[in-house]
Amino acid sequence: MIRSTKAITGSCYLAMLFLGIGGAVVGAAARNIGLTASQIGLILAVQNVGFGLAVWLAGALSDTTSKTRLLLIGSLILGFGFLAFYVSPSFAVNLGVMFFIGIGMGIFEGITDALLFDLHEARAAYHININHFFVTFGSALIAFYLIFLEDQWRIAMVQAGVIILLLAGFFALAYVEQRGAPQESYRTRLRAITTSPLLTRLFVISVVLVGADVGAMGIMTTYLVELRGFTQFGSKLALVLFLAGVAAGRLVIGRFAETARIPRMVITLFALAAVAFTVFFGLNLGKLTYAVAFLAGLTMSAMLPLILAYAGARYRDMAGTVMGAIKVAFPIGGVITPFLMSILAGAFSLQVAVLILPLSMAVGFALMFPVVGTYKAAAAQA
């Protein structure tokens, strides 16, 4: 059995790297595959349905079941899903494959943060930020890699699938002692979560945030090629810079992620993101598009891991269940926003569709005000 904390922590980071690859591959390879804007929205929606089912179940099990065994199952599903993606040219078949890719990604998302809480309780917020940095790194890696592979993009999927199956072998041998199971049943814990005003608001904020994130990554290359006259190389480079901004923000901002600071940090980032996304998707910036893409990624970088760390810290006795419940918001946002963009692109234009993204940042900013107020009130009473 493998019991090394460093090795298991590294395996969590590696799992999240491949989650990032799975989340970005459609946006990065869409032009090479030949997907339309409407098809992009549909395939991302199906992926997130699978993700949502898996992250909910994984979160429910994470406080009572071996987390490494759950990660073993997720690795097998995601690895074979990558190997099967677009082996068949049928769009309908690949919708099914993407559903299972979403399931594997959901298991990774639902378990790794909870496992890091068990391994690094004193610095859980920092490690969650690093964990989600690897999601962004994986997304940037596949986009950058496909710049060079172009029509041979399937090579990247095969390579990724093989590595994930090797990771499954590691999780089969890894062992982490399970923390004491919560005394309450899952139904009792779920009732406590669903009746908490704080967690309900964090859930809605996460829906908005993830929807904008998925939508931006999925449509950015198509937007730049069709409306701004970029080449495929140039559009993918902008996507890489956007993801680089997200990664840089998570590394830097994560170092200051103390629980008391999180609400103010998140609302400030939402305000900056609303401005950056409005400029990026509303103006023809020419070469300045690359700089604004980086800034847009930087502004939205740490919001999601900060929200998860804050929720887990406030409900430490059932951190896995709480984070898993909030993560159900990920696929909901990942379904709603791309689906709306798909409808608007078909009914009106792509330019109208992308305006959902800066609007989402403005909505997130407004929703954060009560969270900041709630924390101040609780701190004053304490």
**What pLDDT tens digit does each residue of the chain (382 aa) get?**
788 889 999 999 999 999 988 887 877 777 777 777 778 878 877 887 898 889 888 887 887 888 899 999 999 999 999 999 888 888 889 899 999 999 999 999 989 998 988 888 777 778 888 898 898 788 778 877 777 776 677 788 888 899 999 999 999 999 887 765 665 676 777 787 778 888 889 999 999 998 998 889 888 988 999 898 888 889 988 988 998 898 888 888 877 777 778 888 899 999 999 999 999 999 998 889 999 999 999 998 889 888 988 888 788 777 778 888 888 888 788 778 888 998 998 888 889 999 999 999 999 999 998 888 665 554 444 3
CA distance 147 to 68: 34
By residue count, the chain amounts to 382
Distances (CA, A) of 21 to 78, 117, 183: 11, 24, 37
End-to-end CA separation in angstroms for the chain? 44
CA distance 309 to 202: 11
Residue ranges covered by each domain of the chain: 5-175+196-381
In tens, the pLDDT along 307-324 reads 988 888 788 777 778 888
CA-wise closest residue to 140 among 59, 38, 33, 21: 21
CB–CB of 140/243 below 8 Å? Answer: yes
CA-wise closest residue to 77 among 101, 61, 59: 101
CA distance 372 to 339: 31
Those residues whose C-beta lies under 8 Å from the C-beta of residue 296, and which sit 6 or more positions away, are 216, 242, 245, 273, 276, 277, 280
What is the full DSSP assignment across 192-215?
Answer: HHHT-HHHHHHHHHHHHHHHHHHH
Q: Tell me, what's the pLDDT at 164? A: 94
Q: Tell me, what's the pLDDT at 28? A: 72
Residue 177, classified by CB atoms within 10 Å of its CB into exposed (0-12), middle (13-18) or buried (19+), is exposed
22's tokens: 């799975």
CA distance 96 to 85: 9
Q: Which fold has domain 5-175+196-381?
A: Growth Hormone; Chain: A; (1.20.1250)
What is the full DSSP assignment across 45-60?
Answer: HHHHHHHHHHHHHHHH
In tens, the pLDDT along 110-138 reads 899 989 888 887 777 788 888 988 987 88
CB–CB of 17/138 below 8 Å? Answer: yes
57's tokens: 């179940």
